[in-house]
Amino acid sequence: MSVTTNARGSFALLGVVQAVLIFTIMILTVPLPLVARELGLGPSDVLLLSAAYGLSFAALLLLGGRLTDRHGGRRTLRWGLALLAASSVACALAPDYPVLLASRFVQGAGAALTAPAAVAVVRRLYPEPAAYRRAMATWGGLSVLGATAGSVVSGPVAAVVSWRWLFAVPVLVALAGLLRSGTLPEPDAAPDPDREPAPASRRPALDLRGALLATTGVCAASYALVASTEHGWSSPGVLAPFAVGLALLLAFAAAERRTADPLLPPGFLADRRRATALVAVMATSAGTALAFVLLSLYLQQLRGWSAADTSAAFVPYAVALLLSGRLAGPLIARYGPVPVTAAGLALEAAGLALLAGLDPASGYPTGLLPGLLLLPAGAAASFAGAAVLATGGVAPERTGLAAGVFNTAMELGPTAGLAALMALAATRPTVVGGYAAAFAAAAAGLALTAVAVAVLPRGGTTKSTTMTTTNAPERTTRIKEFTS
């Protein structure tokens, strides 16, 4: 079957895979109190369990991107899906907390291999710049869709059957991906028409030193940010891992400048459009995560809602997200990713500003629902536009790197954002007042990001750029600038 005939079905499957990777982050968010009661977990155990998947996912994404660029999207995708399926089965059958925790970490590792590999396969499915841009506009909205599905589905399933059955979703999707992987294009089956396939001798080196420094640095710093929401920044349990993580990341940055084939080329983030798009991804993911976490706590702990009722409260959110996601692609095709991303950020900021009016007596129809409709409408547009900006103008052999950086921003946004916003919330005398302050601060941050995106150059012409690496053999790579 040709790539042209197979592209639509393959993209649909890969899109479901991407959504499920984010779905898997959220499946324990709503039923976490049930898991804690069943396994007898304390606050620290719950904290680590809630963060385990995201920690390993974010920490290993750069390595996953390098493996993708080195070995091809299809092969790396198979590795990631196999690891995801096996670890998901282990989560479902986990007899105790240590096994469940370890399995969640392995799940995140499987996701870190799968996410950049899936984008690399999409690049092979749609080698033409315009087609790839349309595909990435759709791709950008899949993550927030997966997060919403996790929040909506997890409560009823946990209440009616068991939280363990939630892990059947990543198992089934991973198996479907493995069965269908033989129909996906080979690494060089659909190369860029202006570029010869790179020989094996020119594949990027693995850069194990950079991978080790980046993985341990991101993991340590992310854990400190997560732990700060419970222990405070003055705690040794927060300061120590944060200092270690920061030192490792600084060592990573220094090492990359001296490496012939670095894991993250120093010039990769120098592009203003790409860097601003990654900030937009972080801000958008932080805002949506804040809404899920704080409203779940508000409804269950302060208003006494059940897990199933809390999940039902997010159904309008999911509907608004689907509708906005369908509109984002055509809007980007007509107006370009810059105005669509800026407008999405502004809408999301407006939704969070409405939620900032939260008080102990807020009703659902008038107090929560308006914000729960504006927020997803903006998030879908923002993610779609930012995905195009962040992955545009990247050479095919760097697709895994671009996807890894994009997904890293998406994972670090909630980690860093929630830590800062929850710390702000803790300074207020009442719980609900703290939630309102966190929503207001997030709205302000998104509004500022919207302004930063809005003033970006629109572009619109194809041009050649070069990417060089310090101390590397002298070479230049012509790439197409196809975002507008």
| Length, in residues, of the chain | 484
Can you tell me the distance from the alpha carbon of 257 to that of 479, in angstroms, rounded to the nearest whole number?
A: 22
Is the pLDDT at 462 greater than 50? The verdict is no
Task: Give the burial class of 414: count Cβ atoms within 10 A of its Cβ; 0-12 exposed, 13-18 middle, 19 or more buried.
Answer: buried
- What pLDDT band is residue 173 in, cutting at 50, 70 and 90? very high
CA distances from 46 to 103, 163, 245 (A): 15, 15, 22
pLDDT of residue 94: 95
Can you tell me the distance from the alpha carbon of 214 to that of 208, in angstroms, rounded to the nearest whole number?
A: 10
Is the pLDDT at 400 greater than 80? The verdict is yes
- Residue 480, classed as helix, strand or coil, is strand
In this structure, how many other beta carbons lie within 10 angstroms of the beta carbon of residue 231? 17
- pTM, whole model, 2 decimals? 0.80
Kindly report the CA angle at 22 between 305 and 174, in degrees rounded to 5? 120
For 149-171, the pLDDT digits (tens) are 887 888 888 888 899 999 999 99
Mean predicted confidence (pLDDT) in 393-403: 82
The domain locations on the chain are: 3-183+259-480, 208-258
- What pLDDT band is residue 391 in, cutting at 50, 70 and 90? confident
Closest CA relative to residue 289, chosen from 22, 9, 109: 22
- What pLDDT band is residue 50 in, cutting at 50, 70 and 90? confident
Is the pLDDT at 470 greater than 50? The verdict is no
For 350-371, the pLDDT digits (tens) are 999 999 999 888 889 999 999 9
For 97-137, the pLDDT digits (tens) are 999 999 999 999 999 999 999 999 998 888 888 888 888 88
* Phi/psi at 480 (5° precision): -90, 135
Mean predicted confidence (pLDDT) in 238-262: 89
Pairing of strands 479-480, 464-465: antiparallel
Candidate CATH numbers 3.30.450.40, 1.20.1250.20, 3.40.190.10, 1.20.1740.10; the one for domain 3-183+259-480: 1.20.1250.20
User: Which of 42-56, 314-328, 348-362 has the weakest average pLDDT?
Assistant: 42-56
Residue % of the chain over a pLDDT of 90: 38
pLDDT of residue 473: 37
Q: Provide CB contacts within 8 A for 334, sequence distance 6+.
A: none
Can you tell me the distance from the alpha carbon of 481 to that of 163, in angstroms, rounded to the nearest whole number?
A: 46
Is the pLDDT at 143 greater than 80? The verdict is no
Is the pLDDT at 22 greater than 80? The verdict is yes
In this structure, how many other beta carbons lie within 10 angstroms of the beta carbon of residue 8? 10
- What pLDDT band is residue 264 in, cutting at 50, 70 and 90? confident
Chain mean pLDDT for the chain = 84
Is the pLDDT at 193 greater than 60? The verdict is no
pLDDT of residue 202: 59
- What pLDDT band is residue 187 in, cutting at 50, 70 and 90? low
